[in-house]
C-alpha cells in the first residue's frame, strides 16, 4: 500500500488562483492561516408520549437531540514577500469603491509537497479582501518586507484527487 506524502509545516508551496484573473497564478505565499470550518449545533427538545416515572404516573418524556446546522468559515490570511504587484491593493480598492458584488471571486489555494507536485487544494467561493497591510519599515532592519491580505470566503472545500496523490507517491510526472 502506498501512503501519500505527509506535508510538513516548514516545507510546502502555496499558490493562489482566482477566477477571472489575467494571470494563471495570482501569488505564491510563505504563510497562510484560517483554514477552519465549523458546524453549528442545533439542539432540539421534544416531549414524547412515553409513560414514565413511578407506577407510570408521569406522561411525556423529554428527549434532547442535536442536529447539524449551517457551516461557517473563518477568514483566510495570506502572507508573502512584498512585491511590486498591486493586484491585492487594487482588488481591495475596488471593493472599497462600492463594487463589491462584482468583485467577489472564486478560486483555489493549491498546496504542493516537497516534490513540487500538487497534493491537495482548498477551493473557495465568494472571496473578497477585508484587510491589507505590509510589515513595518525599518531602515536598520534586515528582514524582508511582508505583504499580508485577509480574505473572507463564503465556502471552503478541501479537494484532493486520489489518482494525483497516488501518482505523486510513485514519483510519476503528471502533465
As a whole number, mean pLDDT of residues 51-69 equals: 81
- Specify the higher pLDDT residue, 66 or 111: 66
State the pLDDT at residue 149.
Answer: 93
State the pLDDT at residue 161.
Answer: 65
For residue 77, count other CB atoms closer than 10 A to its CB.
16
> In 3D, which of 86, 127, 87, 124 has the Cα closest to residue 105?
127
Q: Please give the full DSSP string across 70-102, using - where no structure is assigned.
A: EEEE--EEEEEE--S--HHHHHHHHHHTT-HHH
Supply the mean pLDDT for the chain: 81
Beta pairing partners, 4 = none
As a whole number, mean pLDDT of residues 58-83 equals: 90
Tell me the per-residue pLDDT of 118-165, one tens digit each, with 9 for 90 and over.
Answer: 888 899 999 999 999 998 888 887 788 899 999 999 999 999 765 454
Look at 18-22, 50-54, 97-101, 163-167 and tell me which has the smallest mean pLDDT: 163-167
CA atoms of 175 and 149, how far apart (whole Å): 31
Where helices occur in the chain by DSSP H, the ranges are 87-96, 100-103, 162-170
List, in order of start, the domains of the chain with CATH numbers.
13-36+74-170 (2.30.110.20), 40-69 (no CATH)
For residue 96, count other CB atoms closer than 10 A to its CB.
11
pTM: 0.73
Amino acid at each position: 500500500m502506498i501512503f501519500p506524502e505527509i506535508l510538513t509545516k516548514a516545507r510546502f508551496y502555496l499558490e493562489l488562483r482566482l477566477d477571472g484573473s489575467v494571470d494563471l497564478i495570482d501569488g505564491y505565499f510563505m504563510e497562510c492561516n484560517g483554514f477552519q470550518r465549523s458546524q453549528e449545533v442545533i439542539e432540539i427538545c421534544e416531549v414524547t408520549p412515553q409513560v414514565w416515572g413511578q407506577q407510570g404516573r408521569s406522561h411525556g418524556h423529554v428527549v434532547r437531540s442535536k442536529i447539524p446546522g449551517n457551516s461557517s468559515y473563518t477568514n483566510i490570511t495570506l502572507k508573502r514577500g512584498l512585491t511590486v504587484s498591486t493586484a491585492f491593493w487594487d482588488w481591495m480598492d475596488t471593493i472599497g469603491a462600492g463594487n463589491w458584488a462584482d468583485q467577489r471571486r472564486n478560486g483555489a489555494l493549491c498546496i504542493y509537497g516537497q516534490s513540487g507536485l500538487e497534493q491537495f487544494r482548498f477551493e473557495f467561493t465568494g472571496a473578497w479582501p477585508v484587510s491589507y497591510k505590509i510589515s513595518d519599515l525599518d531602515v536598520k532592519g534586515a528582514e524582508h518586507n511582508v505583504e499580508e491580505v485577509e480574505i473572507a470566503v463564503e465556502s471552503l472545500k478541501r479537494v484532493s484527487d486520489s489518482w494525483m496523490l497516488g501518482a505523486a507517491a510513485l514519483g510519476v510526472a503528471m502533465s
